[in-house]
Structure formats: structure tokens, C-alpha cells
Structure 1
């Protein structure tokens, strides 16, 4: 009678025999399995991506070596996507069957990958389509999905690699980029290669070297040019007109792992002497000498975030950002910025060269820190949170740069800029007969312009948080920049110290200059408003309220009535288009009258005017000055007036 011990050993013998037979079967039939795996791959490419995938020859060498030759991937009716003459690698048989392949060694020779866009379309479109079989709840689990994708990609990176004569090409109509590798070696986790880069506009040789361990999910790589010149970024210069370059880039991946259902990705990236040039950024090169980003990304089942322990450093400026996209209940976007306390002069010295030209030469004393809190709920847009705060300690501007803000307190010459061309000189002082002090401007006009442009001008410090919030909400809803939040302070700085170019540089300078002007009490609010009325454009080649009152109504600013002031306030945003408010008989169109009535009613509700002020103001606007010659009149009823308009000269 068999004992339990004997039965156990018998089971082990039988199980061992089965395993041996299975392994032997796999070994003897491995070539057949390989061909079936290639056939399955070919069928999948044809079925899901409408591509022809073929391998000229495939066979095993040794215990686990695989050699493939003549590998080609061609989308139907499109250019070849991939072609490789020879690939040699090691593949685990069990992984080959399950499809969870990890490459250990890889040799590749004579081949290319190319992304082509031409008049027939793109040869990679099929691979951008979303998987129809992907489950909705799975796609919502950001951590699991990202970990699966990244793991598969890293598993396809071999631990040892030798690549020879390979190219990566981008062809976009008449634009092209070729990156050619003569030889790449990854051995003992050390990677080294040179890449020859060629485009329509330049040719360079880049060096890449460093540490790479795809199984431990760590890397530390450096990119630099083979000579002393900067690395030029290809393609985007021709595609978008954005020229960019840098001395070197350092990329580090320290951690990529799942912990308690959350994906953690840690590392850093740094760049030196990064230079960009684009008309929408600035009028000249913008240079960032040193920048570094120490990141920690966290992904959960329903959120993606940049942890607040991350650090972004721009020269001496150091901030801790937090950003999150969360879909647990509602779709919520969060952004927090915490800038560490620093010296004001260090901040000025750390600003990118070329981006803040008006700050060059500026000197400051004291310290400050900055905090921003932003939260947007897609389903509750009006509950938007926008809180921006600067904490100052003995902050003081001791020397101004190119933008000498103190000139607002003195007489100065102003020249408006139109498309980069300086216009005629306007003297902003009592020496100019058209210059009008604030107490010589009709009170109705001051109240109407403030109501229309900036109701809280005398109370805010350059910015209105609520206006920013409403602007952000509208811009997000319309998915475009359809509303600004410009105050009179911002308009004044833009007119007097900056150009009208629509660049990132000008907007950033505007924000910083307004903050300095308003928070250092450089000029009084009354003086700022007086200068504003005397420099802004009120019509074609019409600058200042003195010229405007004469141009439209042949009056002095103090003599303007309520309706005339409402009209002038209504044209401030688009003064050169004032003529479109009038019909062929010289009467205001209904939409213009309605807008002016809206401003008047606001003034009434805010007790800026009384009902008595509106008595006798029901008659229509009559443009009697030189501006009447700009109206598209069909009939001139008063021949005397017509003759006077022909002979009258409005000479500034």
C-alpha cells in the first residue's frame, strides 16, 4: 500500500515529466510558434491599423536568440512607416506566448522609421485612433492606464543594445528632419551615441550619454552638441516660426512605481542657455541662462497631479508649484504657486534676458514672496477661485530701468506707436494748449469713462481680482481669449511706457510695471487719470481729450454735455471705428444709443449722476467738428455746414 510520501514523490515525477515534455515541445516547435506570433502580429496590424506587416525571414538561434530580417511596416496607400534590414534579440518563449515581452539584448542594423505628411495624408494616422475596445472605467483609472503603457514601453527598451546605421525621419510637406545614428551602444547600463541631425535650415551632430536601466526604471542622460555651438531644435522653426536652442539638457528619471494604487514618477530636468525667438513672444531673443525642474507626478484612479514638493527654478527664482486635474466628482482644475522669499534685486536679475527689456538697469531693495491659488470647477464655473498675493518686506525701487515711471509726475513728450512706427509727438504738459488738467474736464466725462472702463480705479492697486476671475471664466467657456481684465492703470502703462505689440513680453512687462507703479505710490491716482485723459487715442490721429472735444464737437473739454461724454466714453475701446456708430444721415444707430444708455443707467444706479442731470439730454448726438467728414453721409442737408467742413482744417 502506497504511503502519502510515496504518492507525493510520484506526483513530483509526473509533474516534472510534464514540464520537461512541455519545455521540449516548446523548444522543438519554437520556430512554428515564432511564425504564428508573426502571423498574429501581421493580422492585427492589418485588422486594426490597415497596415501590411511582413518579415522576410525569422528564426531562433541558440536557446533564446531570435533573428529577423526584412522587417517592413507599410500603411495601405501611404509611405513606408518602418523598414529594418536585420534585428537580432533574445526572447523568452513564455513571454512570446503571453505577449508580455521584455527585450534583454537588441542588435539592429540598416533601417529607418519615418513619419510622413503629404498631399495624400499622413502615414501614421491609424496609430492615433483610440482603441474601441478600451473599457470606460479602465480609461478613467489614470494611474493603472499610465503604468501599463509606460511599463510596456520600458519593457521594449533592451538592457543591452547595439544599433547601427538607423534613421528617424519626419517629412511634413516641404519640411523635413532626419536624425541618423551611425552607432549606439547601451552596455552595463551606460548609453553613448552621436546623432546627425539635418533639416532644410541646418545640420548638426548631437551627443547623448549617460545611465539607462529600463528594468529598474531609472535613467540619467545628457544631451549636448559635439562642438561648442548650441543645439538647435529642429522642425518647429520651419513649422511654427519658433527658433530655439540650448547648450545642454540633463534628463533624470529617479522613480516610476505603483504604491497603494498611485503611480509615482520622480526625477528632474535642467537646461542651460535656453534661447527662443518668436514674434508672439518678444521682438528679440529671449535667453534663460539656467532652469531646473525637480518633479514629482502622482496619478491616481481619478486624478493627475504635480505634487507641491516639486520645485521649478529659473536662475535664482525658486517656486513650488502644485497642479491637479481631478474627475472624482466634478472635473476640477487646480493650480497653486508658492514662490519662496527672495531679494527683490535677485528677482530682477533672474528675469529672462530679452523678455523684460524695460526692467534692464532697474535696482530694488527689500524682500518679497508670492502665492497664487487657482481652482476651476467645469460644472460650477462661477465658483472659480483666483487669489494672488505678494508679501513685501521693505520693498522699494531705488533705480528705474528703461521705463522711468516717475516721469508721470513731470511734463514729457509722448509718441504713440502704430505697427512699430512712432506717431507725431504729443507734449504732455501745460505748454501744450490742448493739454487739459483734470479740473478742466467735464465731470460727466470722468464719471462716464470710469464707469465704462474701470469703476474701482480710485480704490484698487492696479488689478481687480474679480475682473480677472470673470475674464478667466469667459475665456475658458469660449475656448479663446475673448475678454481681458484691463484697468485704467494697465492702459496708462501700455500707452506711455510700452508698445502696442501683442507679445507675451509686453503683457508680462505691463503686469509688473503696473504693480510697481501702483504699489510704490509713484504717482497719485488723480495724476494718473489726468495723464490718461491726455494721452489716449480718441480717434484717427486724435490724442488727448483737448483734441477730442474739438475734433467731435468744436468744444472745450469742460463744456461737454452728458450725452457727448457718454459718446466719448463709449468709443474709448475702439476710437478709430467711431464712424460706424452713425448712419447715412449722421444719426447714431440704435445699438450705439443703447450702449450709451446702458452706461448712463449704471451711473444713475451708482449715484454718480441724478435724474436732473438727464433733463434736456434726450436729443441725439450731433457731430459738428472735423470728425463729421469721416461719416458716410448720403445727403448733406445743410449746405453751409457742408461748405465749412470742406474748407475747415483740423491741423494738430
Structure 2
């Protein structure tokens, strides 16, 4: 036993001597080692990134601190990427021994970091290129391990103490410029203090960032303020994306970043006051959210990434419990669950963002409700999509409507379509209009055909068709664009009578909310809704309502339309101004148009909507009204160049929509 202890003592002594010798050797030759290391970096920058990396002087200050002067990284044939006049940093020696690079302190004076794009040339492109020699692994990606590796490495590169002065970040995107000048950024003992000057082509501001940050403990709690008073404006996005946004203050908190077994999670919250957003795709005016907060728990596992269900979103008085997940265990699956716990209806209405629901402003309601949405989409099995939306009401009643007077459809009113923000000629919906046609004076064939093509379950649903939404989502995901909606007649009515045709998020959200109110409060009967629909929709160029359409195409009254004529009118509703492209030079329907009519006729026959005695005429229809003159115009355009707004419609009717109802 004594011999073993003696051997252990000798071994430890030898190891200690070797360690001291290695440390002494490193200390003695450390400047030479640093020089060789920097030369390797310079060679790599030139070889792999076609960039020149230079340092005027580099030397150790003690064992772990390093000083640099005039550090420059400049891609060849492009603007300098960064230049730092003076920099000093220290590295945790003990972490370095175990192969973990961790910065201790960082001092920077007079630095510049810039990203530029001139024409198609960007000064950072070389650093975005993938390594062609890198092997592509077919193994599944472990998201938890990847996140842990990346985030922990990044946090180790954030020094526990910083003193940065005059570090300028510049962005120049073909003249769209933003400069963020960090006059001061100090992190001392966990206390963070920063003063930043921001300048763009459109504004200049001074920001203050203050709070606490500890990269070793992996926590942060910081706030942004405008030193000049007023809201903080978001730079660059206004010029680059036409997105104007600002906020009074923002609070960022990271409570914990931790690896727990096979899972990795990030916990914290973000709150923002008076967020203002303006973009033509969102709304036609400023959208303002007074108070918003997101308490988050981001969870990553071996085969999933998710926003955990313990997260919550607070928009004024509206509380939302979200769950979002991306899973790759067997198939690629997207999941979303949204919950709004029971709340008062009036609190919900008053909490809606200003500018997003203009027609709802002034609405008063009583009672309460709760809501849930379950969505799941399997990329490899799209037909198994889940879309389940449920609203549970308790004594819910709307007793004063907002700016949209939904009840006006019960009486006479003036309708004016808005196309490309231009109000069209007025169309009076009422008996004083000689073209106005009551529902009982419209051919039953037209009602059957239009309901089949536009909304087969109109008299049964409450404004929305879940199956149509599912099919719409599937097609939009497959085509990777918004190529099809799931609009019902109720939705088309709300859009036409109360809203505009602008393609904005605001308009779509208002449409959904107003349709729900219209259909679930029995404000207007289904029969009256259908009658208004037939009398206001566009059936051709400057042709509104079935009274005008019957005369324009066939010189008939709506009651006298044949089955073939009604089939034709139903098929042109999606693109009424392009009706002329369904006909040849002799005025006969083209093959694809006849094919569409036969399909619809057979579909209606299978569903028992029509009988065999209503069989389609193989020759289609013949135009006898003023519409015939447009065939001559089309022929002239074909020889001189087709007008931009006269592009022919697709030759295949969207039959999939018709299959969403029972067959």
C-alpha cells in the first residue's frame, strides 16, 4: 500500500512538472504561437473566402489577455467587412485547457462593421457559400444537441465584461442605408448600459439600452428606450420592405437556457408597449397594439422544435395559449393549437388592435366565450390534415354593431363596387332599380348552378365550410403560395357590401369576424342574402346583378334563362371580365368551356339537384346580347397585343372545391 501511494505521488509530481514546463514554454513562446495562429487565419481567409485579413500588431498581455491594433477583414473586389482600431480580449485559460474557448473580457475602440450591396455584389457573399467538399449526412438532425452546441458556443464568445466605445455598424443596400453607432456599451458585473445613435435616410434617433446580462449564467433582462422621447423607430425595414414600425419601449428577458436530458429549452418573456405597424399588405392604415407580452418556453428535442403549451401571448386583455411544433420523428409534421380561455366578449372587442378591425370599432356585446383551434398537417400525407375550430358561447349577444351596419341588407341600399381603390358606378339594391330581380323571379336553374359552383352547403352552414378550408390549405401549401381561398357566399357578400377588395390581412380578418356575426346572430335570412348576392355581384365588364347580366348575354329576363345559360353564368363568376376567352371566333364555346359545363351538369345530376330531362345541350350557349361585341374586341386584341387586364383565364375549372361537399 505504501508503494502504491509512493508511485501515485511520483506520478502526480511528474505531471505537475510537465504542466509547469508546458505552461512555461507556452508563456515564453506565446507571441510566436499567436503569430503563427494569425498567419493560418489569414491564409484560410484568402483561400476559402477570397478575403484579406490583416493585423498591424498582436501581442499577449499577461497569460490570457491579447491586444490587437488595426484589425481588418476586406473581401477582394468588395467593401471592407470590418475594421477595428484597438481591441483587447482575454480568454479563460482553464476552459481552454479542456478545449472550450470562452472570452473573459473585451475592449474595443473605434471599430466599423459594414454590410454592403452594390448592384448584385455583396461584400459578405463569400462567407455564405456552402463548402462543396462537405459531405451531406443522411442522418436525422438532433435539434436539441444542435441548439445546445450553437447557443453555448455563442454565449461563450460573449464576454462577461465589456467596454466598447465607438463601434459603428453600417448597412448599405443599394442606397437604402442604416447606421447604428454604438457610442458606449458597458457590461460590468452583470450590469449592462449602452448608448446608441441610429441614423437612416428617413430619421435619426438616440437609443438607450439598460439592464442585466450574464452570459455565464445564461440570463438577461434588458430594456430599450428612446433618449429623445417618443417612439423607437425600426430602421431599414421602411425602405427595404415598405414596413414602417415603431414602439415606445421593449423588454427582453431570458430566464433560463438549459439542457435537460434529451431536451433543450429556453424560457423567458418579451413585452412591448404601443407597437405600431404600417404595411400595405397588413392594413390601409396604422395598426397599433397598446400592450403585448409573450411568455415563451422554446423546447427542442431529438426530432422536434416547439413553442410549448405553457407559453402565453397577451394582447391587451386577450390571453392566447399557443402550441406550435415541427416534428420529424417519422414524417414531417406541422402542428398548431390555439386556446383562448373564457373571457368577456366586450373585453375581446375592446382589446383588438386599432386599425386592424375598423368596421368593428364601436361594437358592444355581452356574454362570454372561449375558443380553440387544432391544426395538424403531415407533409407526406396531406389528405390527413386536421383543422378543427370551435367557439363555445355563453349568453353571447351583440346589441350594437360597429361601423358596418349589417342590418342594412334587409332593406333598400346603394351598392358601389371598389376595384383598384376606385369606386364604380352606383347600383341600387331595391325595387326602384328596374334591373333588380327578387329571388322568386330568378330561374331556379341559376340558383342551383351557382350554389353548386360557389357554395353547395350555403343553406346549412353558418358562414364557413371547414372542409373547404382544409382543401384550401392543402392546395396553398402544395403550390407554396396563396393560390386559392375557401370563400362562401356569406364571405363574398361581406367582402362586397361592407369591405373593399384590397388584399390585406386586415380585410380578411374583418371578413371572418363580420361573417360570424352576420350568420350567428340571424341578422339577415339566407334567402335575402342570396337575393342580394345575385343582384350585386359582377357578371362581366361593368355588368352588375343578374338583371343586367341576363340582358347583356342573352337579351332575356332572369326567369327565362335555360339550364345551359345558367351553367355558363355560374362558371364565369370567378373571372367575369374575361368571359370572351371562352368563345372562338364564331361565337361558339371552346372545348374546355364545354368540358366544364358537362362536368358541372353531371355533378348536379349525381347529387340529385337536376334530373336527366335537364341534360346539357352539346352546343353550349349562344350570345345574343351586347356581350357578343366583346368577341370582336378580343379578336382585335389578339392581332395587336392582348391587354394586361385581358389575360385569358385558366382552362381548367377548380373542380376540387366542388368535391368538398357530399357527392
The answer to whether the Cα contact below 8 Å between 1:139 and 1:145 also exists between their aligned partners in 2 is no
Matched with 1:585 is 586
1:18 aligns with 2:18: yes
Aligned residues: 634
Query: SS of the residue aligned with 1:266?
Result: strand
- Give the superposition deviation at 1:322: 0.5
Matched with 1:226 is 227
Closer/same/farther in 2, CA of residues 564 and 28 from structure 1, 3 Å limit: same
1:35 aligns with 2:74: no
- Give the superposition deviation at 1:619: 4.3
Closer/same/farther in 2, CA of residues 493 and 255 from structure 1, 3 Å limit: same
Q: 1:563 and 1:475 mapped to 2: Cα distance?
A: 32
Matched with 1:642 is none
Closer/same/farther in 2, CA of residues 634 and 422 from structure 1, 3 Å limit: closer
- Give the superposition deviation at 1:578: 1.1
The answer to whether the Cα contact below 8 Å between 1:414 and 1:428 also exists between their aligned partners in 2 is yes
Deviates more, 1:289-298 or 1:402-411: 402-411
Matched with 2:114 is 114
Matched with 2:254 is 253
Query: SS of the residue aligned with 2:446?
Result: helix
The answer to whether the Cα contact below 8 Å between 2:92 and 2:104 also exists between their aligned partners in 1 is no
Q: 2:169 and 2:177 mapped to 1: Cα distance?
A: 11
Matched with 2:652 is none
Closer/same/farther in 2, CA of residues 21 and 623 from structure 1, 3 Å limit: same
Matched with 2:153 is 152
Matched with 2:469 is 468
- Give the superposition deviation at 1:624: 1.1
Matched with 2:535 is 534
Matched with 1:650 is none
The answer to whether the Cα contact below 8 Å between 1:583 and 1:633 also exists between their aligned partners in 2 is no
Closer/same/farther in 2, CA of residues 218 and 135 from structure 1, 3 Å limit: farther
Matched with 1:644 is none
- Give the superposition deviation at 1:628: 1.7
Query: SS of the residue aligned with 1:104?
Result: strand
The answer to whether the Cα contact below 8 Å between 2:297 and 2:311 also exists between their aligned partners in 1 is yes
Matched with 1:60 is 60
The answer to whether the Cα contact below 8 Å between 1:586 and 1:633 also exists between their aligned partners in 2 is no
The answer to whether the Cα contact below 8 Å between 2:96 and 2:102 also exists between their aligned partners in 1 is no
1:114-153 to 2 correspondence within 5 Å?
Answer: 114-119=114-119, 121-130=121-130, 133=134, 136=137, 140-153=141-154
Deviates more, 1:44-53 or 1:110-119: 44-53
Q: 1:31 and 1:562 mapped to 2: Cα distance?
A: 93
Deviates more, 1:556-565 or 1:87-96: 87-96
Matched with 1:100 is 100
Deviates more, 1:57-66 or 1:180-189: 57-66
Deviates more, 1:15-24 or 1:251-260: 15-24
Instruction: For residues 360-397 of structure 1, give each alpha carbon's deviation from its aligned partner in whole angstroms, at most 9, with x where no partner exists.
Output: 11111111111111111111011111111111111111
Closer/same/farther in 2, CA of residues 23 and 618 from structure 1, 3 Å limit: closer
Give the TM-score normalised by structure 2.
0.93
The answer to whether the Cα contact below 8 Å between 1:26 and 1:93 also exists between their aligned partners in 2 is no
The answer to whether the Cα contact below 8 Å between 1:585 and 1:634 also exists between their aligned partners in 2 is no
Q: 1:428 and 1:265 mapped to 2: Cα distance?
A: 58
1:153-552 to 2 correspondence within 5 Å?
Answer: 153-552=154-553
Query: SS of the residue aligned with 2:216?
Result: coil
The answer to whether the Cα contact below 8 Å between 1:412 and 1:428 also exists between their aligned partners in 2 is yes
The answer to whether the Cα contact below 8 Å between 2:580 and 2:634 also exists between their aligned partners in 1 is no
- Give the superposition deviation at 1:213: 0.3
Q: 2:485 and 2:421 mapped to 1: Cα distance?
A: 23
The answer to whether the Cα contact below 8 Å between 2:205 and 2:228 also exists between their aligned partners in 1 is no
Q: 2:518 and 2:172 mapped to 1: Cα distance?
A: 50
Closer/same/farther in 2, CA of residues 185 and 14 from structure 1, 3 Å limit: same
Instruction: For residues 223-279 of structure 1, give each alpha carbon's deviation from its aligned partner in whole angstroms, at most 9, with x where no partner exists.
Output: 111122111111111011111111111101111111102111001111111111111
Closer/same/farther in 2, CA of residues 541 and 282 from structure 1, 3 Å limit: same
- Give the superposition deviation at 1:99: 5.9
The answer to whether the Cα contact below 8 Å between 1:157 and 1:214 also exists between their aligned partners in 2 is yes
Q: 2:392 and 2:526 mapped to 1: Cα distance?
A: 23
Closer/same/farther in 2, CA of residues 257 and 2 from structure 1, 3 Å limit: closer
Matched with 1:71 is 71
Q: 1:525 and 1:348 mapped to 2: Cα distance?
A: 26
Closer/same/farther in 2, CA of residues 120 and 587 from structure 1, 3 Å limit: closer
The answer to whether the Cα contact below 8 Å between 2:213 and 2:220 also exists between their aligned partners in 1 is yes
Q: 1:508 and 1:257 mapped to 2: Cα distance?
A: 38
Q: 1:340 and 1:515 mapped to 2: Cα distance?
A: 19
Instruction: For residues 297-356 of structure 1, give each alpha carbon's deviation from its aligned partner in whole angstroms, at most 9, with x where no partner exists.
Output: 011111111100000111111111001111111111111101111111111111110111
The answer to whether the Cα contact below 8 Å between 2:103 and 2:156 also exists between their aligned partners in 1 is yes
Closer/same/farther in 2, CA of residues 620 and 7 from structure 1, 3 Å limit: closer
- Give the superposition deviation at 1:93: 4.4
The answer to whether the Cα contact below 8 Å between 2:589 and 2:620 also exists between their aligned partners in 1 is yes
Q: 1:195 and 1:602 mapped to 2: Cα distance?
A: 67
Q: 1:99 and 1:178 mapped to 2: Cα distance?
A: 37
Query: SS of the residue aligned with 2:556?
Result: coil
Instruction: For residues 91-135 of structure 1, give each alpha carbon's deviation from its aligned partner in whole angstroms, at most 9, with x where no partner exists.
Output: 244655776321111111111111111135111122223455477
The answer to whether the Cα contact below 8 Å between 1:191 and 1:211 also exists between their aligned partners in 2 is yes
Query: SS of the residue aligned with 1:147?
Result: helix
Instruction: For residues 542-574 of structure 1, give each alpha carbon's deviation from its aligned partner in whole angstroms, at most 9, with x where no partner exists.
Output: 111111111111111111111111111111111
Matched with 2:51 is 51
Matched with 2:658 is none
Q: 2:536 and 2:15 mapped to 1: Cα distance?
A: 95
Closer/same/farther in 2, CA of residues 138 and 26 from structure 1, 3 Å limit: farther
The answer to whether the Cα contact below 8 Å between 1:583 and 1:632 also exists between their aligned partners in 2 is no
Q: 1:477 and 1:455 mapped to 2: Cα distance?
A: 24
Q: 1:318 and 1:3 mapped to 2: Cα distance?
A: 72
- Give the superposition deviation at 1:414: 1.1
Matched with 2:8 is 8
CA RMSD of aligned residues (A): 1.8
Query: SS of the residue aligned with 2:601?
Result: helix
- Give the superposition deviation at 1:24: 1.5
Q: 1:442 and 1:61 mapped to 2: Cα distance?
A: 94
Instruction: For residues 27-53 of structure 1, give each alpha carbon's deviation from its aligned partner in whole angstroms, at most 9, with x where no partner exists.
Output: 212222222322233333334333222
Query: SS of the residue aligned with 1:424?
Result: coil
Structure 1: gaps of 5 or more residues = 636-652
- Give the superposition deviation at 1:63: 3.2
